[in-house]
């Protein structure tokens, strides 16, 4: 299993324990099992909303999100009776009001989770909205706040962890000089 999928699966598994919006019952699937018996099982569909900045349209982040959903749906050992669907919306960078409005529309249409956005300013507003509505929120953005959020999980590495990783790499490779190039989006 892809390592980043594990926190997502644990967060989604907590839906029932926190009395959140239940998945939609999509009926019963009837099929012939390996031992030639007619078997049936309930199938559930989870709708998820994703918010990406307009600049990230078609980016590797969007493709990774689509791939993760496809991978979970394809591997029946992960969540055997669940199918994930998603609706991706693109928000202008820095426009918290529009992003919150789009998130509310996704939730009104039945989204059980919200993914993104990666914009540091807008992401904080969506996290707050998801927290107040008890909706799981999964994001990957730089967040310098250290307080624990009840309904959010951030997949972005902590700056301290990134620094230690870089230090360990330099030490392991016995480098004597290093140049770090970065872009500050804030």
Domain boundaries, the chain: 5-156
Q: Are 76 and 40 in contact (CB under 8 A)?
A: no
**Residue 1's pLDDT band (boundaries 50, 70, 90)?**
very low
**Amino acid 169: pLDDT:** 92
Between strands 111-115 and 82-91, the pairing is unpaired
Task: For residue 50, count other CB atoms closer than 10 A to its CB.
Answer: 22
Instruction: Say if CB 98 and CB 53 are below 8 A apart.
Output: no
Please give the pLDDT value at position 175: 93
> Could you tell me what percentage of the chain is helix, strand and coil, using 3-state DSSP and rounding each to the nearest 5?
35, 25, 40
Strands 38-53 and 24-32: antiparallel
d(CA 42, CA 84): 14
Stretch 35-63: mean pLDDT, rounded?
A: 74
2-33 tens-digit pLDDT: 444 455 555 555 544 444 444 444 444 444 44
The CATH number of the domain covering residues in 5-156: 3.40.50.2300
DSSP 50-68: EEEEGGGTTSHHHHHHHHH
Cis-peptide into 117, omega within 30 deg: yes
Check whether 34 has a pLDDT greater than 60.
Answer: no
Tens of pLDDT, residues 119-174: 888 888 898 888 888 888 888 888 777 677 778 888 888 888 888 998 999 999 99
């Amino acid at each position: 299993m892809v390592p980043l999928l594990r926190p997502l699966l644990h967060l989604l598994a907590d839906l029932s324990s926190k009395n959140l919006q239940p998945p939609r019952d999509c009926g019963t699937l009837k099929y012939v099992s390996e031992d030639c018996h007619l078997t049936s099982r309930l199938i559930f569909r989870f709708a998820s909303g994703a918010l990406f900045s307009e600049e990230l349209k078609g980016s590797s982040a969007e493709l990774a999100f689509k791939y993760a959903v496809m991978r979970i749906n394809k591997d029946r050992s992960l969540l055997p009776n669940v199918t994930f669907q998603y609706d991706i919306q693109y928000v202008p960078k820095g426009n918290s009001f529009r992003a919150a409005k789009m998130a509310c529309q996704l939730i009104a249409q039945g989204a059980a989770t919200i993914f993104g956005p990666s914009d540091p300013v807008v992401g904080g507003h969506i996290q707050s909205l998801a927290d107040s509505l008890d909706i799981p929120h999964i994001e990957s953005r730089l967040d310098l706040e250290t307080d624990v959020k009840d309904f959010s999980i951030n997949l972005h590495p902590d700056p301290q962890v990134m620094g230690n990783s870089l230090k360990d790499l330099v030490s392991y490779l016995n480098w004597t000089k290093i140049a770090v190039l970065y872009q500050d989006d804030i």
